[in-house]
């Protein structure tokens, strides 16, 4: 008897297997089942734009060329998690930001701490 390839056997199994129509069940009864479509949260989590890492909140335009030319920015604020501060960031400025801290309104990028060389003492 000739050997069957994995691809051929998979094709046979899938051809012989029926597909169930999706149906809704209460969440408590959903254990062990598969999701048939996208699932969306009722509210966004977190409720605000925050940093997923320690680093610097910056304007992307200030660091876009950093891969080829070093960039030096002035640190205008330290933002710990839970801070209500929203410092203005002018071109050439950044804010040191901790994991979980709210992203300043003027920032659109976080530069990971490990990708920087800080010149002033901590």
Tell me the average pLDDT of the chain. Answer: 91
What does the pLDDT look like over 55-100, one tens digit per residue? 999 999 999 988 778 899 999 999 999 998 999 999 999 999 999 9
Q: What angle do CA 117, 121, 122 make, to 5 degrees?
A: 90
Q: Is residue 94 within 8 Å of residue 56, measured between CB atoms?
A: yes
What does the pLDDT look like over 8-18, one tens digit per residue? 999 999 999 98
pLDDT band at 6 (very low <50, low <70, confident <90, very high): very high
The torsion defined by the Cα of 49, 52, 55 and 59, in degrees rounded to 10, comes to -30
Distance between CA 61 and CA 72 in Å, rounded?
13
* DSSP of 85-102: ------TTEEEEE-TTPB
Residue 71, classified by CB atoms within 10 Å of its CB into exposed (0-12), middle (13-18) or buried (19+), is middle
Answer yes or no: is pLDDT of 121 > 70. Answer: no
Distance between CA 20 and CA 53 in Å, rounded?
42
Furthest-apart CA pair in the chain: how many Å? 75
């Amino acid at each position: 008897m000739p050997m069957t390839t994995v691809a051929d056997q998979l094709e046979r199994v899938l051809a012989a297997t029926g597909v169930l129509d999706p149906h809704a069940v209460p969440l408590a009864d959903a254990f062990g089942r598969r999701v048939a479509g996208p699932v969306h949260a009722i509210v966004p989590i977190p409720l605000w734009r925050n940093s997923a890492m320690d680093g610097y909140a910056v304007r992307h335009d200030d660091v876009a060329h950093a891969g080829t030319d070093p960039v030096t920015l002035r640190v205008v604020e330290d933002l710990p998690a839970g801070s209500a501060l929203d410092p203005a960031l002018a071109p050439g400025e950044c804010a040191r930001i901790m994991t979980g801290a709210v992203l300043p309104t003027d920032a659109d990028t976080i530069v990971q701490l490990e990708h920087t060389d800080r010149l002033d003492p901590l």
